[in-house]
Structure 1
Amino acid sequence: MASTLNRSLYIKQSLATFILAVVLSLVLSFFKSYQTIQQEPYRIQKEFNDLLSILERPLAQALFRLDKAFAQQQVESLLYNPAIAKAVVFDESNNVFSEASAPYMEPSWSGEIANFLIRDELTVTRNLNYSGIEIQLGIIQVELDRRYLIEQIIGFNSQLFIQNLIKDILLASILSLFFYFIVTRPLKQLTWSISRVDENQNVVMPPSFDALHRHDELGRLKSTFSELWRRLTSALDALERSHQHSKAMISHAADGIIVLDEALTICVVNEATEKLIGLPSEQLTGISLACLQGGSFWVSLEESLHNLPVDEVMTAETTLSTNQHFIPIEIRISKYRVQGETEVVLLMRDLSERKEAQQRINRLSYYDSLTRLPNRTLMIDHLQKSMDYMAKGHFGALIILDLDRFKTINDALGHNVGDQLLVEVVESLLPLVPPNTTFARMGGDEFVFLWSQVRGSMNESNVPIISFMQRVLASCSDLKHVSGHDLHITASMGVSFFDGSEESTAIIVRQADTALYKAKELGRNTFAFFQEDMQSLSDARLKMEKSLYRAVKNEEFEVYYQPQNNEKGEIIGAEALLRWDDKDMGRVSPMDFIGIAEDIGLIHDIGRIVLKQATSQVATWLQQGVWQEDWRISINVSPLQFAHESLIDDIMLALTKSSLPAKLMDIEITENTLMTDLDSALSKMEKIRSLGISLSIDDFGTGYSSLKYLKDLPIDRLKIDQSFVRDLIADKDDYAIVLAVIAMANALSLKVLAEGVETNEHFKQLKLMGCYTYQGYYFGRPMCAVDFESFCENSSAAL
């Protein structure tokens, strides 16, 4: 019964309605009975007053006539009313005139109950006056039986209570049945349908339910549950996808993942962890972290994890030993709480590739890729440390070595041979390097020996330094066998001493470099110590550097133009040549400042100035009609400038700002430009040609020419170097070289232009050899823009 009551909402509702109806009926009936009992004395008084009013006149006449028998008869007639226990008539003197008492009957209710319900004595008194005369003849007093009255009241109210109770119970039953069909039964149907819904269904109800409850609370409850079920299903699907996604990520993560519970026991591992540790997940799951192979590291790590606060991260590094291989790993550890439980996740990353990459980066950053020697950066760092920690009274030495005429070998035999020669030289010098000495490659064919501690005197008579340099020079001059070539090479060396009091490392390097220049002036294959009188040479270079910086900033450079002509003497274009007039040094030759500009990184800024001035000036001449649409302006690009990544952007910017058509520009590069990185050079040349710009090889014949790559170059013209043209008439070798270049150009369908044409004999001879475009003093010297404009106008007038 209790189980049915707990499971049936209808029974609960019916029982509650029944109990409530009975309780309310009892309370209301009791309250009404109580009100009736409380009002009963007043009703009785009124009722018996009305009764006595009937006997008032006969009793008054009996008192007036002193007829006791008649009065007794009237009084006894009152006893026919069972509610009257006693009736007494008093005369005017308050003496009993007549009285009557009802026989005693045992009531069904005790006197205590009667006294409780009706506390006051029930007595009805009425004056007896003679009709028409307001004279009181006596009174009649009636005592009522309270217990009888209580019986009557309780009997009447009991019947009323039973009627009301039956009515209320019937009403409660009707209401329960009504609410069963209106609420309980539809709710039961809804509950039944909800209990049978699955993840792919909505709540399905009988048609009657939807018809009756579509718009009420039950209908909205059904719609709400359907929507909640849909959302729950979507959320569960998303949660399942997320769970599967997380499992897949953990399983296939490149980094090892270990999840520990609150007791630091392994509960989750992935495949990467198995590979790192060398154990399957079955053996790893369930063991303590301290039980892993690795000794004290995991024990100390476990102790650290106990003290690690929640939501904090720590990092550790160690080395794992797997199959006799040592793997450096980085462990990122995080502690967190999930659903009241503390967990720790360890992300283990294999650092092998990173360590190798760092070593490669370190080698690239601080070591020369060809010779494996320390590079300039590392050498300067060692020099700075030597200066910083130099003890008082001690000194060191910086020796710069430069191979003599290495460029000639490099250009003649190619960079591959040149690189192998450098390696041979380094291998021959390594055994000669004293301990605690830095042997570094500064760049190109320049090397440095850094002695942090030198014995002897701090001058050019230092025996250990002299002995070492003599051995180095002797080793360099030994015959070198490189790629089938027997090569002889010498070296020049410059020495600078330092004791830590110098202002910077740059001063020491500059002094050694100055001494090196002095050694070359002495005839090469020798060495020189820096002397104070050499400072003027160093100061002159420093002055040149400062002037170059100022000249670039103020754009003190000016572009001159040297005409290029055809066999008829007609102008076909011009070459842009840079000129610099310094306010202190006067006219400075490009041969004197271009090399320095390349050393200090200003060559790119100077190149942009040339592009800007030349394109702007030619564009102006084109608008004025001075420059013809079939002429081209040739602009030289140095190897460093060509190799710079911004060259294409610089050219495009100059053309855009000047509005000069790209077809009027010709970019000149040297053969050596192509030798450093031919693939990169070819790519850049193709981009230049795609803009519509022509390409020429300048000073052709002075570098390392190869028909193998020359035939594939996207070039339009070869320029024969003036060194071959100058002695063309007298020197048979130069004649043969020029003739070969012209023939090669014709065979490759390339145009050819001869530089250095200074005489009519040069012009005639070149024309006979098949060269029909020229540049040189015979046709015109380099001239400023104003003079070149006048030159063009005069040439047009002459034609």
Structure 2
Amino acid sequence: MSKNFDFSQSLYLKQAVLTFLLAIFLSVVLSCLQFYQVLKYQKAQRIEEINQLLDVIEEPLEQALFRIDKVLAQQQVNSLLSRSDISKVVILDENGAQFVASSVSFAKPNLSKWLVDVLIDEETGQSRRLEMVSPKLFLGSITIRLDRSSLAHQILTYSISVFVQNLFKDLILAFLISLLFYYVVTRPVEQLTRALSNIPDTGRLTLPKSFEKDHKYDELGRLKGVFSKLWGRLSTALADVERSNLHTKAIIDHAADAILLLDEKGCITLSNPAAERLTGQTSEQLINTKVSSLYDDPWISMSEILADMHLDQSITIETYFISHGKRIPVEIRIAKYEIHRVVEIVLLVRDITERKSAEERINRLAFYDSLTRLPNRHFFVERLNELLDELRINRRQSALIMFDLDRFKNINDSLGHNVGDELLCKVVGAITPLLPEKAMFARVGGDEFVVLLPEFSQEAGEPNRSLVEISKDILSRCNAVKKVGEHDLHVSASIGICLFDGSNETSTSILKQADSALYRAKEVGRNTYEFYKEDMQAISDEYLKMERALFLAMENEDFELYYQPQNDASGRLIGAEALIRWNEPTQGFISPAKFIPIAEEIGLIVELGEWVLHQALRDVSQWRAEGIWDDSLQVSVNVSPMQFQHAGFMQMLKSAIETFNVPPHCLDLEITENMLLSDSESSLDLMYQVRSLGVSLSIDDFGTGYSSLKYLKSLPISRLKIDQSFVRDLLSDHSDEVIVLTIIAMAKALNIDVLAEGVETQAHQNRLTDMNCTLYQGYYFGKPSPAHLFSKAWLSVVNV
């Protein structure tokens, strides 16, 4: 037991004290009950004793009264007064007169009158009638009074003696019970308690052998078993809690996001290493720091957010933290909760710099063209719709300029997309400085651009002057030579312009109007601008209809090759030109001059040109198989600049010659001189590759382009074809005659053959012969005809 014994801590002392108190209480209660019984008994016993005395002296007193012998009566009274508890005796005669009376005084016990009154009734005594039995005669009465104080003293003395004896006995019993309780209960409990308190040190519940022996099967033994099981569970639970705590700490320490724990005032009470890395401050520096000192955002008040949050509520905000002196975007997940009546706030802070960069990239991809960095079609349409809403309120006029690069597909397909992309960037870089500050410059297609002018000036007498000036500047910048890698590229642009005020237009209708004007600019010769007019929409619709019909015709192979003979001065056949014809089911024959430019615009010309080449070689191969084709003849096939400069052209040409087994010299490819302007070096290299195969090259429509002697003398060509526009008016127009003479003289000087197109009369042939031109093609010799008719009319004759 402890030296400094504490009543509140000792079960044994509590039990002992309570046992002794209970013993005293019970002893007092029982003594009180016993005192009450003793009191009744003593009183009854005294009465009984007096009655016995009266029985003894009754006869003598009766005789004394009968004989009126007061001496005898006095003797009897004195015998009664010899008792210590009788204080007075009175004898009355038959008349009630006092016969004899006597009293005695005793030493008064030290008792209060109140106590005596409580213990002994005030009238305590005994009276008896004195009478003779025979004869029946009343003689008088005797009254005996008891001394109350003496009687009370006797009773108290006896009761106190009994109480002391009972108390001593009860205390001895209480002591024995306490001692027994100590050895039976308290001591084993103390041993069990001491063993439990030593469990953390020993790791197991160790008790004396006596405990195991004496309490193996009783309640304490079962309690020990329960404690052992509870300790096992508690040990497991503590181990789990420790593992959970270590696991939680590891998660917090290794979390990629910064974790900050705040108190209700917004001060940091805990931080993890990620928070230290994010803020550039140590944990010691962060503790007790206001979280508001870490972020830099005038639009967000963290204190107001924390104050307005409810318990068990979580929110996510985006703001900026100061990290290493820099302002970085972060996402903060805030949760507010209460544990043990203490409000805490946890902040999960994530650096979203990469996400913001990704969002910006996505935004650029969604709204900006990745190549030119200009707004894309989606962004432009949104801005146009916003502008239309403004115009419906402000009632002012706006304009849209749409342009694309003429024959850009030719450059893109022949020189590669890298060259085409760089060319577009150079065009954008040249045009951007020309545009007004409020203009929106956007790329809405491959080589299609728009300029949106929310406001533009219209001076008196010169309507749309500013639009005209802007358009001319765009054309001028596009026409300038562009150095792209090793290539000097020449491009032009076609521009369509439409005006609108937002009254009835939609973004779709405005774009359609500008596109119609653009198409009109291409129709009139490209490299110009056109304002939208009402009738242009029908032309645009017709253009779209033609596009769809071309794709369908290409899919169904609705085209057919016609052949026009080529002759010498004697009229002998030297070859034929393969000409494509399209007999559209609903419109009939459509002129190549109408559908070929559209095929070039929509990128179908390469596929169409490949079909023409394959079909021409297939026909020649069949004629050779029939024995009606002389290998000295040549079939001329027109090749567009886009097809000629296509990356796969040479491979396609080689494959076609091998497939149909036609001698290469039987094939003549006709190209236009304008093709040399786009990229002369690349074109020249391709021409040499074609000549290396044994295939001939001719320049078609010579004289209509911009060829110079510098190009002409270096070209590996075998023939020039004079354009029919010069031959048609040869007899009446002196200028045409001079041009034809010059072309023939130049070709002869360079040892190049010359073939005149559009020879329709004998006079045309005679004049050309006089000019020393000996090769002809035209209606005078024969019109273009299908393969089967051409072979019958010309090849059979040659064979014969």
Q: What TM-score range do you get, normalising by the shorter chain?
A: 0.5 to 0.7
Note the alpha carbon deviations across 1:527-574, whole angstroms, 9 max, x for none.
3322111233456799999x99xxxxxxxx9xx999xxxxxxxxxxxx
Among residues 130, 137, 159, which one is paired with 2:139 in the alignment?
137
Deviation at 1:154? 2.6
Counterpart residue number, 2:701: none
SS in 2 for 1:179: helix
What one-letter code is carried by the residue in structure 2 that aligns with 1:728? Answer: R
Among residues 729, 739, 748, which one is paired with 2:619 in the alignment?
729
What one-letter code is carried by the residue in structure 2 that aligns with 1:154? Answer: L
The answer as to whether partners of 2:58 and 2:130 remain within 8 angstroms in 1 is: yes
Counterpart residue number, 1:118: 120
Counterpart residue number, 2:655: 740
Note the alpha carbon deviations across 1:589-628, whole angstroms, 9 max, x for none.
9x9xxxxxxxxxxxxxxxxxxxxxxxxxxxxxxxxxxxxx
Deviation at 1:483? 5.2
| Aligned pairs for 1:464-543 within 5 A | 464-482=466-484, 484-485=486-487, 487-537=489-539
| Aligned pairs for 1:220-369 within 5 A | 221-222=223-224, 225-226=227-228, 229-230=231-232, 232-234=234-236, 236-261=238-263, 266-285=268-287, 311=311, 315=317, 317-318=319-320, 320=322, 322=324, 325-329=326-330, 339=340, 348-369=349-370
Counterpart residue number, 1:702: 607
Deviation at 1:494? 1.9
SS in 1 for 2:619: coil
Counterpart residue number, 1:380: 381
Q: d(CA) in 2 for partners of 1:293 and 1:471?
A: 50
| Aligned pairs for 1:570-589 within 5 A | none
SS in 2 for 1:36: helix
Closer, same or farther: CA 428–52 of 1 in aligned 2, 3 Å: same
Deviation at 1:368? 0.7
**Runs of 5+ unmatched residues, structure 2:** 558-583, 591-602, 621-633, 638-649, 662-786, 788-800
Closer, same or farther: CA 24–362 of 1 in aligned 2, 3 Å: same
Deviation at 1:370? 1.6
Q: d(CA) in 2 for partners of 1:73 and 1:461?
A: 173
Question: 400-409 or 105-114: which moved more?
Answer: 105-114
Closer, same or farther: CA 413–229 of 1 in aligned 2, 3 Å: same
The answer as to whether partners of 2:125 and 2:143 remain within 8 angstroms in 1 is: yes
The answer as to whether partners of 1:397 and 1:497 remain within 8 angstroms in 2 is: yes
The answer as to whether partners of 1:320 and 1:328 remain within 8 angstroms in 2 is: no
Q: d(CA) in 1 for partners of 2:63 and 2:294?
A: 131
| Aligned pairs for 1:584-663 within 5 A | none
What one-letter code is carried by the residue in structure 2 that aligns with 1:138? Answer: G
Closer, same or farther: CA 217–534 of 1 in aligned 2, 3 Å: farther
What one-letter code is carried by the residue in structure 1 that aligns with 2:439? Answer: T
Q: d(CA) in 2 for partners of 1:700 and 1:521?
A: 17
Q: d(CA) in 2 for partners of 1:375 and 1:482?
A: 24
The answer as to whether partners of 1:85 and 1:145 remain within 8 angstroms in 2 is: yes
Q: d(CA) in 2 for partners of 1:701 and 1:741?
A: 14
Counterpart residue number, 2:21: 19
Q: d(CA) in 2 for partners of 1:258 and 1:235?
A: 28
Counterpart residue number, 2:448: 446
| Aligned pairs for 1:169-180 within 5 A | 169-180=171-182
Counterpart residue number, 2:36: 34
What one-letter code is carried by the residue in structure 1 that aligns with 2:364? Answer: R
| Aligned pairs for 1:551-566 within 5 A | none
The answer as to whether partners of 2:318 and 2:329 remain within 8 angstroms in 1 is: no
Closer, same or farther: CA 322–12 of 1 in aligned 2, 3 Å: closer
CA-atom RMSD, angstroms? 4.8
Q: Percent identity?
A: 41
What one-letter code is carried by the residue in structure 2 that aligns with 1:362? Answer: N
Q: d(CA) in 1 for partners of 2:652 and 2:6?
A: 120
The answer as to whether partners of 2:31 and 2:163 remain within 8 angstroms in 1 is: yes
| Aligned pairs for 1:666-677 within 5 A | none
SS in 2 for 1:532: coil
SS in 2 for 1:397: strand
Counterpart residue number, 2:107: 106
The answer as to whether partners of 1:502 and 1:508 remain within 8 angstroms in 2 is: no
Deviation at 1:203? 4.0
Counterpart residue number, 1:437: 439
Which has the larger Rg? 2
Note the alpha carbon deviations across 1:3-62, whole angstroms, 9 max, x for none.
454543212321221122123212321332134325644443343223322433344345
Deviation at 1:335? 6.5
The answer as to whether partners of 1:84 and 1:145 remain within 8 angstroms in 2 is: yes
Note the alpha carbon deviations across 1:726-759, whole angstroms, 9 max, x for none.
552247688996882596899xxxxxxxxxxxxx
Counterpart residue number, 1:195: 197
What one-letter code is carried by the residue in structure 2 that aligns with 1:724? Answer: H
Q: d(CA) in 1 for partners of 2:141 and 2:290?
A: 114
The answer as to whether partners of 2:616 and 2:635 remain within 8 angstroms in 1 is: no
The answer as to whether partners of 1:498 and 1:508 remain within 8 angstroms in 2 is: yes
The answer as to whether partners of 1:203 and 1:226 remain within 8 angstroms in 2 is: yes
What one-letter code is carried by the residue in structure 2 that aligns with 1:152? Answer: Q
The answer as to whether partners of 2:617 and 2:660 remain within 8 angstroms in 1 is: no
Report the TM-score, using the length of structure 2 for normalisation.
0.61
Deviation at 1:509? 0.2
Q: d(CA) in 1 for partners of 2:43 and 2:81?
A: 19
Q: d(CA) in 2 for partners of 1:471 and 1:26?
A: 128
Counterpart residue number, 2:55: 53
SS in 1 for 2:444: strand
Note the alpha carbon deviations across 1:309-349, whole angstroms, 9 max, x for none.
675768573463736x5534556666666655566655554
Question: Does the alignment pair 1:156 with 2:61?
Answer: no
Deviation at 1:303? 7.1
Closer, same or farther: CA 180–303 of 1 in aligned 2, 3 Å: closer
Closer, same or farther: CA 359–242 of 1 in aligned 2, 3 Å: same
What one-letter code is carried by the residue in structure 2 that aligns with 1:369? Answer: S
Deviation at 1:65? 5.0
Deviation at 1:234? 4.9
What one-letter code is carried by the residue in structure 2 that aligns with 1:45? Answer: I
SS in 1 for 2:535: helix
Question: Does the alignment pair 1:186 with 2:164?
Answer: no
Report the TM-score, using the length of structure 1 for normalisation.
0.62
Counterpart residue number, 2:427: 425
What one-letter code is carried by the residue in structure 2 that aligns with 1:449? Answer: V
What one-letter code is carried by the residue in structure 2 that aligns with 1:496? Answer: C
Q: d(CA) in 1 for partners of 2:269 and 2:651?
A: 85
